[in-house]
Structure 1
Amino acid sequence: MSFQASFKFSRIGLAVVTALASSTAFAEGVAVESNAVADTNIERISVTGRNFNDYNVGSSSGAMRGDIDILDTPQSVTVIPDFVTDEQLATNLGEVLVNDSSVTSGSEKWNRQVFSVRGFELASGSGFLINGHQQWSHYVQPIETLQQVEVLKGPSSMLYGQSGPGGLINMVSKKPTYETMFDFGFDTDENGSTRFQVDAGGSLNEAQTIRYRTVLVKQDTQYWREYQDGTNQERDRWLGYLNLEFDLTDDLLLSVKYDHTQDKTGIDRGGWLDSSGDLIGDSDTIWDQSWAFTDNTITNMGADLTYHLSDEWKIKAGFNDQQFDRQRLDSSPTLISGSEDPLTDGYYISPFDRYDDWQHKTGYIDFTGNVYTGEIEHQLLIGANMLDYYYGQLKDSGERNQLVMPGQPVLQPTLDYNNDTTLSESEYKHYGFYVQDLVTINDEWQVLAGVRYDEQKKDGAGNNSYAVSPKFGAIYSPAENSSIYVNYSKSFTPQGIVSDDNDINDGLNLDPEYGEQYEIGTKWELFDGSLLLTGAVFDITVSNVTVQEEIEGSSETITTQSGEQRHKGFEMGAQGQVSEKWFMTGSMMYLNAEYVRPESDSLNGMTPVDAPEWSANMWTRYEMTDNLAINFGAVYVGERFANTANTIAKDGYVRFDMGAAYTMDVMGSDVSVRVNVQNLFDEDYLAGGSTTDVTVGEGRNFSLALEAKF
């Protein structure tokens, strides 16, 4: 049964706003018991067993490069704790980020996930952080090792250098524990997917000066879409994570981290849309060949050292080495030029075997401390960071444009990337120096000022980039539990070289993009800090915009740079406890995004792909008893364009989810059983992606999870 035709934004927006308002009104009329009572209830029905209000974390480590209270951060930030995503049985980063409506999904082809923040696509090399380190994220990021995910909205170049104008995703790793803990989890779904997890931590010596946290995951996923030979796409993933902490002295802490991911997945580039925006073929049809796959091997090794120079000052330094190897055997399906009926006319494949070698080495050093000039407090940050990037590629291509008829699978070609004797390489080094001062003038006023100098060096004359990125903000606190802020910030995003065999401008060296944002917002903590309400209005302009367009009547594309891209809008959010037994997280965003180019340019006034005007989400938990809790969620994504010419649109949709968890004591151990239903009403919808790689939404899906805490 489909509800799509009967829902318009006005009803969805009204429903979300009403839900936020009614929850506040309801909470004001309910006598909330002490935190001890509420915490006891949470612990009894919690999947993770933590003992606090898990829906409202209260601080972000990435927004200010330190654990600064969200009320003291003049920037829009959303923190998504693992407690919420554990309730949702999330298995990838996309299912985590659905909890922030400012984040929209893009294509999921080639076993990777693409996201946009405030309508700007996040780059694989500069849009993602792990514990403040830039990560190459050309794969599905593991989430089992994460304590929380932070969405830092707006330009963050002042602190992190090269980054997009929409924002950054900072992933915070799970930390070692003093007390012994051991969690075992298992989940499965109706397609036959399975995932086993072990999460353990504790102290390795009696003095508790050496602590650890380790996570092991084995996942076998059966997807619902089918190849031409009738088989389903599959995924086989192993993950190992270890974090060790050493108290070398009372003032010196060493943290050493290691994680290894082995992830092999069949390729599903997504669906094709015709000129009317309708899906070509059945919703479960995969156009790739069943022998196509990506095999990713990712290793991260890093260390962080924290030294407290005094009660007021500390120095923190860190290094991370990421090695990312990928083999991609691809059938690379494309429509025949001028045809929209591959079921009758067939389609082309252009097979190749490719090896990619990405190496990301990052490092930083930060001095932080407090200085007083009279009664005025300065929270100072002085630091520097670097990135050493290398990329190498080998590729062996087969016969191009082989005609394939549906239902007639093609045998796997004899291809081996080792046959390529010409290694294609690129590398660069990026350095940045920054200073930030958060000035507390009095109980009501704070001012933020910061500036950064960036330099990116590449081989070859004329390939270096330089930038100065300032940031200014002011915070007014009319009450202890509230703040109103304004900020101005700039972004700097080097673009590299066009690397696409199907692009007319393949090999073109692109210039950096520069963006600037003006933002005004407010944050309020209600009910003794248990509920956080936020709102923000933003205006972002990017110059020298890079755009890849599809050439009509051809499988080729063209990448160009010119003009501006301007995104304006507002956001609202609520996160935390609204009554003794009711918890919620929800948000909504309005976005007006367009290209600003000369009137003669066909893109002038057009909206970027996958930038909906309206989006919203909500997830709630209600505790029926001390042992039983139910969950309800909804995700709304408005109409989006599937091509830059704005001639093909994907309809808006509403997806409802539901779940329930029951916790019991079994031989002294807490055992939790959870049942979730995603897409409760079996809504047909199209998610992210363009006309040639759109993600087809899955129908109703049941999941079951068990977790035991020893």
Structure 2
Amino acid sequence: MRMKSTCVMMALIMGGMQVSLADEETSNTSTLELDTLSVTASADASAEGLSPAFAGGQVAEGGRAGILGTKDNLDTPFSITSYTNEFIQDRQAQSVGDVLRNDPTVRVARGFGNFQESYFIRGFILNSDDVAYNGLYSLLPRQYIATELFERVEVLRGASAFLTGANPNGGGIGGAINLLPKRAPNYDLNRITLGASINDERNGSADIARRFGENDEFGIRVNAAHHNGGTSIDDEQAELNLFNIGLDYQGDRLRLSADMGYQNHQLEQTRTNLRLMNQVSSVPSTPNASENWAQPWSYSNEKDYFGTFRGEYDFTENVTAWAAYGMRHGEEENSLSNLNITNGITGNGTLSRFDNGRIDRIQTGEVGIKGKFKTGFIKHELVAAYSYFVSEKKNAYRFVSIPGGSNLYNPTYYSRPELADLYSPRLGSRVRLNSFALGDTLSFMDDRLMLTLGARHQTLKTEDYDYNGQTGLIGKYDDSEITPAIGAVYKLTDEFSIYTNYIESLTKGDTADSTTDNGSGGTVDVVNGGESFAPYVSEQKEIGLKYETSSIGAGLAYFTTSKPRSFMDKSNPDRPVFRQSGEDEHQGIELTLYGKATDDLKLLGGVTWLDAKQKDTGNSSIDGNRVIGVAKLQATVGAEWDVPSVDGLAFDGRVNYTGSRYADDANTLKVDDWTTVDIGAKYLVQLANQDLTLRARVDNLFDRDYWASVGGYPGNGYLVLGAPRTVSISATVDFY
């Protein structure tokens, strides 16, 4: 009843909200061309609409630069890539992480202690609960976001406090991820997709859309999906059920939209992370990629309900206001047994049963106004916005050691050990954010020179509680910061632009883990467990060059960013304390490439060089060492070839490379580099009144055994083993 009344209240309050962006296929005048079919563009769901797809259809011509709105690549002083729905479908991506494996500036990792997707952007971690949905943070499921829920994946590289506000969960220093919702196109959409993998995974989805009204001003789009079965990892099982409905209204001046969704994601015997204990002197050799050391009784369940409403109203041709509101209720429970490696050579380690319950409640919103005007020969695009975010997290957990231990290469399986009853989740933390932002983009010289100036005043209030119910409030922070930004773009020609920016990030401080290893294979309570540090500001400086023709595009950027360094002080192993000292400084160069090299050959990829070091730590033995989990070099190169002699047939391939990384601050535990190769094929054929698209894919073609990621939590170098060779097929039918 509470959720129902909340949704009714939101609908009444947000009567004037901005609609979100249109369906991917609606952005092009012809995203799919057959002899008897021409898909035309849909009405925009906002004044700006969805950025059109670039040549080749894999990425868009631009993306959303926060409160500045949707901008073309050559017109913004920031680095943005927006991956299209056509590309998402062709790569058979099932999650945000699957999409971002195609990005040379991002590496997919896993959150600490659970199965949450995380992403290293410019070497800084961003967890999936820090992902935005149509500009609002933390509205979609916290650990795993299925691709049926969104139209595009946008990556905004670098700090973004002025553009998007402070990230509520402590990420966003290296970049932000924004997902765009689906909208009904101008044609009737009736799409069914069925898929399977060689490992007995089965999936099916339906995507239905209609427009109504005298001028097709009302739109509805419904997505439903079910995934179930085994994965490429032995004995691992996963099930996903979701339903999402998107509504929109297109008036002369008023545009409205609403999204309501549900996702239930369940995992059984999912392979866990490996934690390297203090006494480990070498990194374990990689086991067979299909091996599973998880205990048979382990599981993790996540269930989320979410909704968002938007509106946009044109007061005049040059003045538009918008408003948005969103909420999420998430429930999680799991029973896990992580393997803690005590001997890197033999693979021996300890086990414990760890049960956790969690409830998240999120409310967030934004209102703003933007206008265009001139002062003399200078054009202005002025924007002002207010945003807020409120989250409440409840937790409950218990753990018990499992005598006997296990081995990475020869696991020992145990009956589920007894555990004290898990209390109902109790209040663990509250986060409240409020901010006001003001910005102006000035255009000179017939729009060849554009200067963006802005600042955001952000108030952050955090409260941390002892959710064991013993001591109550254990830490709080209530203060404000002003984060400025300046960016400039100069178009050398119609195809070249050079840009630079100074921008800051403002993030919630790191939170102390409740327990840590005691150096002897067990765990010990952290003295300040659950305490959050004060939010901190990170400064970014960037300069870059962008190039685009009608068919090919490229970008080159140099950046430098730093952040305070958090670590677990174990000088007294019986009383470890979570502390801050020094900073991590990241400097890097990014080269990206996208578009069509020829009429039949599409390219997508690039290279990232990163120099991420620890500085001023107070410990001379680690000063200047590399940051845990960050490779010096990573590259992703993808290509797709449309076979000229066979209409509708295409082949694609992708090579991913990640250099060596370290799993400890002292840089004594070195993790090897890795390279994987993925291939795929697509065949599109028209049968009577149906379009049939057949897709096949082989990921990790050569069945490489490798440590896919290292780290993911301050001071911890735990390892995640990459997935083995995975073969998947799907068939999509569009009915007309």
Provide the secondary structure at the position in 2 that maps to 1:111: coil
1:436 is aligned to 439
Task: Please tell me the residue identity of whatever aligns with 2:534.
Answer: D
Task: Please tell me the residue identity of whatever aligns with 2:547.
Answer: W
Q: Distance in 1 between matches of 2:677 and 2:88?
A: 16
Q: Structure 2 matches for 1:300-699, cutoff 5 A?
A: 300-335=306-341, 341=346, 347-395=349-397, 397=398, 399-405=400-406, 408-413=412-417, 419-420=422-423, 423-443=426-446, 444-459=448-463, 463-495=477-509, 497-502=511-516, 503-526=526-549, 529-542=550-563, 544-548=564-568, 559-598=578-617, 600-624=619-643, 625-690=646-711, 693-699=718-724
Q: Distance in 2 between matches of 1:78 and 1:619?
A: 15
Q: Distance in 1 between matches of 2:485 and 2:158?
A: 11
1:110 is aligned to 114
Task: Tell me, yes or no, if the aligned pair for 1:271 and 1:280 is still in contact at 8 Å.
Answer: no
1:187 paired residue among 195, 198, 211:
195
Q: Structure 2 matches for 1:5-404, cutoff 5 A?
A: 40=33, 53=55, 54-107=57-110, 110-123=114-127, 125=129, 127-135=130-138, 138-163=142-167, 164-226=172-234, 232-247=235-250, 249-266=251-268, 267-271=270-274, 275-279=281-285, 282-335=288-341, 341=346, 347-395=349-397, 397=398, 399-404=400-405
Task: Compute the displacement of 1:205 (Å).
Answer: 3.7
Provide the secondary structure at the position in 2 that maps to 1:110: coil
Question: Which one is further off, 456-465 or 290-299?
Answer: 456-465
Task: Please tell me the residue identity of whatever aligns with 2:709.
Answer: G
Q: Distance in 1 between matches of 2:29 and 2:243?
A: 35
Runs of 5+ unmatched residues, structure 2: 1-27, 43-51, 464-472, 517-525
1:15 is aligned to none
1:590-638 Cα offsets, whole Å, 9 max, x none, are 1110010256344311212221111111222111132211112111111
1:5 is aligned to none
Provide the secondary structure at the position in 2 that maps to 1:411: coil
Question: Which one is further off, 488-497 or 321-330?
Answer: 488-497
Q: Distance in 2 between matches of 1:341 and 1:680?
A: 29
Q: Distance in 2 between matches of 1:412 and 1:353?
A: 11
Q: Distance in 2 between matches of 1:437 and 1:703?
A: 48
Q: Distance in 2 between matches of 1:617 and 1:421?
A: 45
Task: Tell me, yes or no, if the aligned pair for 1:64 and 1:73 is still in contact at 8 Å.
Answer: no
- The answer to whether residue 724 in structure 2 is matched with residue 704 in structure 1 is no
TM-score, length-scaled by structure 2 = 0.84
Task: Compute the displacement of 1:111 (Å).
Answer: 2.1
Task: Tell me, yes or no, if the aligned pair for 1:481 and 1:524 is still in contact at 8 Å.
Answer: yes
Task: Tell me, yes or no, if the aligned pair for 1:302 and 1:319 is still in contact at 8 Å.
Answer: yes
Q: 1:568 to 1:234 in 2, by over 3 A?
A: same
Task: Tell me, yes or no, if the aligned pair for 2:284 and 2:347 is still in contact at 8 Å.
Answer: no
Task: Compute the displacement of 1:176 (Å).
Answer: 2.0
Q: Distance in 2 between matches of 1:152 and 1:556?
A: 40
What percentage of aligned pairs have identical amino acids? Answer: 22
Question: Which one is further off, 205-214 or 447-456?
Answer: 205-214
Task: Tell me, yes or no, if the aligned pair for 1:276 and 1:648 is still in contact at 8 Å.
Answer: yes
Task: Compute the displacement of 1:489 (Å).
Answer: 0.6
Runs of 5+ unmatched residues, structure 1: 1-34, 227-231
Task: Compute the displacement of 1:160 (Å).
Answer: 2.1
Provide the secondary structure at the position in 1 that maps to 2:166: coil
Task: Please tell me the residue identity of whatever aligns with 1:302.
Answer: T
1:271-303 Cα offsets, whole Å, 9 max, x none, are 466633233755444333111111101111110
Q: Distance in 1 between matches of 2:353 and 2:709?
A: 25
Provide the secondary structure at the position in 2 that maps to 1:400: strand
Q: Distance in 2 between matches of 1:455 and 1:588?
A: 37
Q: 1:634 to 1:332 in 2, by over 3 A?
A: closer
Provide the secondary structure at the position in 2 that maps to 1:84: helix
Q: Distance in 2 between matches of 1:331 and 1:556?
A: 24
Task: Please tell me the residue identity of whatever aligns with 1:708.
Answer: V
Q: Distance in 1 between matches of 2:724 and 2:461?
A: 48
Number of equivalent positions:
658
Task: Compute the displacement of 1:548 (Å).
Answer: 4.7
1:341-387 Cα offsets, whole Å, 9 max, x none, are 455xxx43322432101111110011111011112111111001000
Q: Distance in 1 between matches of 2:150 and 2:291?
A: 34
Q: 1:522 to 1:408 in 2, by over 3 A?
A: closer
Q: 1:484 to 1:181 in 2, by over 3 A?
A: same
Q: Distance in 2 between matches of 1:45 and 1:277?
A: 56
Give the superposed CA RMSD.
Answer: 2.9
Q: Distance in 2 between matches of 1:73 and 1:663?
A: 36
Task: Compute the displacement of 1:413 (Å).
Answer: 4.2
Q: Distance in 2 between matches of 1:650 and 1:355?
A: 33
Provide the secondary structure at the position in 2 that maps to 1:695: strand
Task: Please tell me the residue identity of whatever aligns with 2:355.
Answer: D
Task: Please tell me the residue identity of whatever aligns with 2:508.
Answer: P
1:493-545 Cα offsets, whole Å, 9 max, x none, are 1216424233454133412222101111111111xx23221111111122x32
2:8 is aligned to none
Q: Distance in 1 between matches of 2:641 and 2:490?
A: 35
Task: Compute the displacement of 1:574 (Å).
Answer: 1.2
Q: Distance in 2 between matches of 1:647 and 1:96?
A: 33
Q: Distance in 1 between matches of 2:32 and 2:196?
A: 29
Provide the secondary structure at the position in 2 that maps to 1:85: helix
Task: Tell me, yes or no, if the aligned pair for 2:515 and 2:529 is still in contact at 8 Å.
Answer: yes
Q: Distance in 2 between matches of 1:470 and 1:666?
A: 56
Task: Compute the displacement of 1:207 (Å).
Answer: 3.5
Task: Tell me, yes or no, if the aligned pair for 1:146 and 1:173 is still in contact at 8 Å.
Answer: yes
TM-score, length-scaled by structure 1 = 0.86
Task: Please tell me the residue identity of whatever aligns with 1:411.
Answer: S
Task: Tell me, yes or no, if the aligned pair for 2:62 and 2:70 is still in contact at 8 Å.
Answer: yes
Q: Distance in 1 between matches of 2:659 and 2:672?
A: 7
Task: Compute the displacement of 1:573 (Å).
Answer: 0.9
